[in-house]
Amino acid sequence: MSTDSNGGVVLRGGPAVVVSRLGDTRIPGLDAARGLAILGMLAAHTLPGDGNSFYDGRSSILFATLAGISLGLMTGGQHPVARVAAASRTRARLSIAIRALLLIALGLGLWLLETNIAIILDSYGFLFLICLPLLFLNRWVLAALAVVCALLGPAVVEALVDATSWDGPMPISADNPLAVPLSWLDSYYPAPVWLAYVLAGLAVARFGVTRPRVQLTIIVGGVVAAALGYGLSDAFGDPVVAHTDTTMEAISSGALALAVIGLLVAIVGRLRTAVGRTALSPLIAAGAMPLSIYTAQVLAIAAVDVLHPEAPDDAFSWTLFLSLAIGTLVFATAWRLRFAQGPLEWLFARLTLRRPWRTPRDAAGPGHQTRSTTPTR
């Protein structure tokens, strides 16, 4: 461990500056939204309930939408890598492809723990792969594709389930090697539907998530669309149920996710008081290292399952949730005092050629250290 010329802490042999007194290029509001999603998923994994509480489904949908924004920011945000820079686009796609494969490998590894958690990381990796040819489409086209996925995705999933069931024309059993990739299409996080959330996030990044007009649009539009979706579903006697992956869930919960993102980016970006920044800093810190936090939570729950195999009562479940939630916030805050990246974030950055479109070190001159000014995840 050492320090750079600005006083930032550097992991020896790791990515360049890890923490700088001059600040970094992250968007704190996005980290706050991601931290909220992580706590929501933790609640879904640990708290008692019927699987349709306010945090069920909506937290993972928020996380998926943020993943789309991350893809957009990693490839230039509002000003994506230019078409003329074909080599840079190729490097960006390669970096994301490697990240996707790593997510798939990590996700499949966590599935082997056999917890009661529907691991989301491998599905995210698959969605990233699908997005590779779509990364640099026009922002309006991305938004339109998100709507198409929300409208038609459920029908595609239903057709896949019918076709591959035991009495369908192409039955695929659980021990079939194709069962795993098929699960990314028709199981817990079916790609035909969940692609809507990722593409919506990617479109928001292209419109400019830090622009006040964009924030206002997704806040107002998200609230109105969510209210109409939930309200009409209830009025017609078919309320939105978490993880059913219906068109109404995709529209309502997806719109709500956009509204939450817009609200948090707007509020956190305008915080000027030390009290406000301090109050939100644990949530922001957790959201800055989501991969590490999510993985640690799954490992902790797996360990608890081994130590306490009996079905937990409500008191135990609440104790587990509060312990992991508080532990998450405390650990993330302490870690961020020294580093800007979590352990797995650092590892993934190393393995995916962190910011591969940056100016090569030798081109910048000896001893010169370049820094990206593009907002990151």
Q: pLDDT band for 122, please (50, 70, 90 cuts).
A: very high
pLDDT in tens, 173-182: 888 888 889 9
Give pLDDT, residue 251.
Answer: 97
pLDDT at 93 over 80: yes
Give the orientation angle of helix 191-207 with respect to helix 58-74, to 10 degrees.
50
Residue at 150 is within a domain: yes
> DSSP for 55-106?
TTTHHHHHHHHHHHHHHHHHTTTTSPPPTT-HHHHHHHHHHHHHHHHHHHHH
pLDDT at 114 over 60: yes
Residue at 365 is within a domain: no
pLDDT at 154 over 90: yes
pLDDT at 139 over 90: yes
Residue that wins the pLDDT comparison between 89 and 67? 67
Task: Compute the distance between CA of residue 344 and CA of residue 139 in angstroms, rounded to an integer.
Answer: 31
pLDDT at 39 over 90: yes
Query: Which range (7-21, 70-84, 90-104, 144-158) has the least confidence?
Result: 7-21
* Mean pLDDT score, 138-166: 95
For residue 248 the two structure tokens come to 């109404």
Residue at 18 is within a domain: no
Place of tokens 């991601």: 34
Helices (H), ranges, the chain: 28-46, 58-74, 86-111, 121-131, 139-164, 179-186, 191-207, 212-235, 247-269, 274-287, 290-307, 314-336, 343-351, 361-364
Residue at 206 is within a domain: yes
Indicate yes or no: pTM above 0.75: yes
Query: Which range (72-81, 107-116, 349-358) has the least confidence?
Result: 349-358
Query: Maximum distance among all alpha carbons in the chain?
Result: 68
Residue 52 gets which letter from DSSP?
Answer: -
For residue 173 the two structure tokens come to 């059993």
Phi and psi dihedrals of 309, rounded to 5?
-70, -20
pLDDT at 132 over 70: yes
Give pLDDT, residue 353.
Answer: 64
Task: Compute the distance between CA of residue 283 and CA of residue 265 in angstroms, rounded to an integer.
Answer: 13
Give pLDDT, residue 174.
Answer: 81
Contact assessment for residue 309 and residue 116, using Cβ atoms and an 8 Å cutoff:
no
Residue at 51 is within a domain: yes
Residue at 359 is within a domain: no
* Mean pLDDT score, 32-37: 97
Q: CA 274 → CA 27, 99, 265, 270, 278, distances in Å? A: 17, 36, 17, 12, 6
Residue at 21 is within a domain: no
Contact assessment for residue 159 and residue 151, using Cβ atoms and an 8 Å cutoff:
no
Give pLDDT, residue 87.
Answer: 84
Task: Compute the distance between CA of residue 364 and CA of residue 370 in angstroms, rounded to an integer.
Answer: 7
The domain in which residue 285 lies consists of: 30-353
pLDDT in tens, 273-295: 888 888 999 999 999 999 999 99
pLDDT at 143 over 80: yes
pLDDT at 124 over 60: yes
Residue 167: strand, helix, or coil: coil
Residue that wins the pLDDT comparison between 201 and 16? 201
Percent of residues, the chain, with pLDDT higher than 90? 68
Residue at 54 is within a domain: yes
Q: pLDDT band for 141, please (50, 70, 90 cuts).
A: very high
Place of tokens 């069931």: 165
Which residues are registered as beta bridge partners of 345? none
Overall number of domains in the chain: 1
pLDDT in tens, 297-334: 999 999 999 998 887 788 889 999 999 999 999 999 99
pLDDT in tens, 209-266: 999 999 999 999 999 999 999 999 999 999 999 999 999 999 999 999 999 999 999 9
Residue 2 gets which letter from DSSP?
Answer: E
Task: Compute the distance between CA of residue 338 and CA of residue 295 in angstroms, rounded to an integer.
Answer: 20
Q: pLDDT band for 55, please (50, 70, 90 cuts).
A: very high
